[in-house]
Chain A
């Protein structure tokens, strides 16, 4: 009996599962491999070899040149993304706390309307947003772009926090109120310390959204204040001179690395937080 259990049985279905998984891995990894290989090739190498061939000479020239081009824009993106992510997450947390635990007359309707914001496409908010930002005197400034990102992100962050907080028992807040704690004390001392998973979800989500955003970036910023996504587009779409694919690939990798890094660092919280919010909603 034991020998039967110890022996891994190789069935057809198992083989099929692994085949499908392997295929998925290939599909996802090939573009990345092509990008990495190309970024380390010389221009001559690119024009002679095929896409998947190993570079004849490994050179970092593409990376150096790419960094020289997107350097300033990379830091623009940091300056836009970090405050926008932190502010939208902070406000979302307080919104969610109120909507889940301090219900007021019409709070359900308010939440419903806010939820609607999640389904608004970027394009529909462009004109009203640019009008508002213009009226505020923040047109074509980093502050203006941060503002637009915060407002657009609030619908998502509020939804995340609210759904996470409705699964926390009301009795906790009641107990804290009887202990004499007020609105912000309860939030800061009891609710926030329990919120690590959902904070991580929010940070990852918002960071990915804002860092990767192109449309708001191209509309609400200009010249030297543009984010890296816009700069990358300008670099790749340039029509003068020879195409330097190694530089394009390296620049694209640079633009994509921060989000990758955030996933690696906080990824385990992402899944945990998403499911925690999803079970009771």
Chain B
């Protein structure tokens, strides 16, 4: 049980080489579940190794319960980690794997016995205790790896892509189990993943990383509804957000975006935008579920007719692809609509949910009177730029 704080953490593998981590600022409270998410090579695993003490940081400090642990060796940090490859000791039985860390810490044999029994019961691996890791399935190995971390009752758990070696079905099951486990144990957790669904479902807080920089740090809801920039918007969400590059226009003192499906046009009023946005190249972002089928009765929302090019029925909903302003746009529709390819659909958008990004920098553009980026925990990218 602990708080974790990273202050201006930097990591480089030598002068001349690009920084692996740049000015990382994070703080999570006791019992919170932090997700580090990003594409491969973004530095998330390095950051986790730095927290664990397996790699030294080049600058800044790492604090657990407000005590600086930056210089401590891994064993003194009271942290347990679950690895992507599980890293079970192959020559030891499951029981020995779980008790290894306890033995090293000179715990009394009776207490070790008790702790192994507790963990085994918690993870339902009691019947596997005398087996070797090689005799276990992937899912069982994953449980043992978690058991090894749980047994020590550390201040913080670190998970390094723990579910990525499991097949799709098991992954979803274990995801739910991990969430249950965290709800019961309430231990501060840092979880690295490249899977944005894991990030959304498991995290109390999410840090989206790219090129060693935290692009945005916030709750899953903030990250999803209120992305700080084009990268975050494109990375989180499946199917991803639609992006339509266009030039903003002004009409009757209001800015608007002009959409063109090839067979119809539609004006998307964007409210009172910051001055100087007129004629600016922007990228308009819309989530697939924010494009809906227009009702028969007109309701005043902007509507456009567009030709269906591809449909992908996924079961719970059908993804329909149309073309707007020469960009492929995905709409998530109810499966009973099931339009045919070549058919024309009447689609409708809610302009207040539309996001705008600068075409050059990818930064989010603020819209006055519409979805003002609120509750965002600092625009970290902006801070880094200024330094």
Contact = CB atoms under 8 A, between A and B. Distances in A.
A191 B148 CA distance: 18
Contacts of A179: 75, 100-101, 104, 148, 152
A177 B89 contact: no
A227 B110 CA distance: 55
Given A169-B87, A190-B89, A175 B75 contact: no
B357 to A, nearest CB: 38
Contact of B85 (A169, A178, A190, A193): A169
B330 interface: no
A176 interface: yes
A132 B89 CA distance: 43
B75 A190 contact: no
A173 to B, nearest CB: 9
A180 B92 CA distance: 17
Contacts of B52: 174, 178
Contact of B101 (A169, A174, A180): A180
A194 interface: yes
B263 interface: no
A177 B74 CA distance: 6
Interface string B76-91: 0001110111110111
Q: Is the interface of A mostly helix, strand, loop or mixed?
A: helix
Contacts of B148: 175, 179
Interface in A166-221: 169, 171-172, 174-181, 185, 189-190, 193-194
B54 A176 contact: no
A46 B83 CA distance: 70
Contact of B80 (A172, A178, A181, A185): A178
A176 B148 CA distance: 11
Contacts of B152: 179
A221 B81 CA distance: 56
Interface string B181-222: 000000000000000000000000000000000000000000
A166 to B, nearest CB: 15
B105 interface: yes
Contacts of B87: 169, 171-172, 174-175
B83 A171 contact: yes
Interface in B77-124: 79-81, 83-87, 89-92, 100-101, 104-105
Nearest to B89: A190
Nearest to A185: B104
Nearest to B54: A174
B81 A175 contact: yes
Contacts of B75: 177-181
Given A169-B85, A171-B83, A171-B84, A178 B91 contact: no
Interface in B104-161: 104-105, 148, 152
B105 A176 contact: no
Contacts of B90: 194
A272 to B, nearest CB: 15
Contacts of A174: 49, 52, 54, 74, 81, 83, 87
Contacts of B89: 172, 175-176, 189-190
Contacts of A177: 54, 73-75
Contact of B74 (A172, A178, A194): A178
Contacts of B81: 174-175, 178
Contacts of B54: 174, 177-178
A179 B75 CA distance: 6
A178 to B, nearest CB: 5
Contacts of A172: 87, 89
B191 to A, nearest CB: 16
Given A178-B74, A193-B91, A171 B104 contact: no
Interface string B311-343: 000000000000000000000000000000000
A188 B152 CA distance: 22
B234 to A, nearest CB: 31
A179 B49 CA distance: 14
A169 B90 CA distance: 11
Nearest to B102: A179
Nearest to B80: A178
Nearest to B105: A180
A120 B91 CA distance: 37
A180 B91 contact: no
A178 B151 CA distance: 13
Nearest to B82: A175
Given A174-B52, A178-B81, A179-B148, 18 more contacts: A171-B83, A171-B86, A172-B89, A174-B81, A175-B87, A175-B148, A177-B73, A178-B54, A178-B79, A178-B101, A179-B101, A179-B152, A180-B75, A181-B104, A185-B104, A190-B91, A194-B90, A194-B91
A-B CB proximity, top 7 nearest: A179-B101, A171-B87, A180-B75, A193-B91, A175-B87, A180-B104, A171-B83
23 contacts: A169-B85, A171-B85, A174-B54, A174-B74, A174-B81, A174-B83, A175-B89, A177-B54, A177-B73, A177-B75, A178-B75, A178-B81, A178-B101, A179-B101, A180-B104, A180-B105, A189-B89, A189-B100, A190-B91, A190-B92, A193-B91, A194-B90, A194-B91
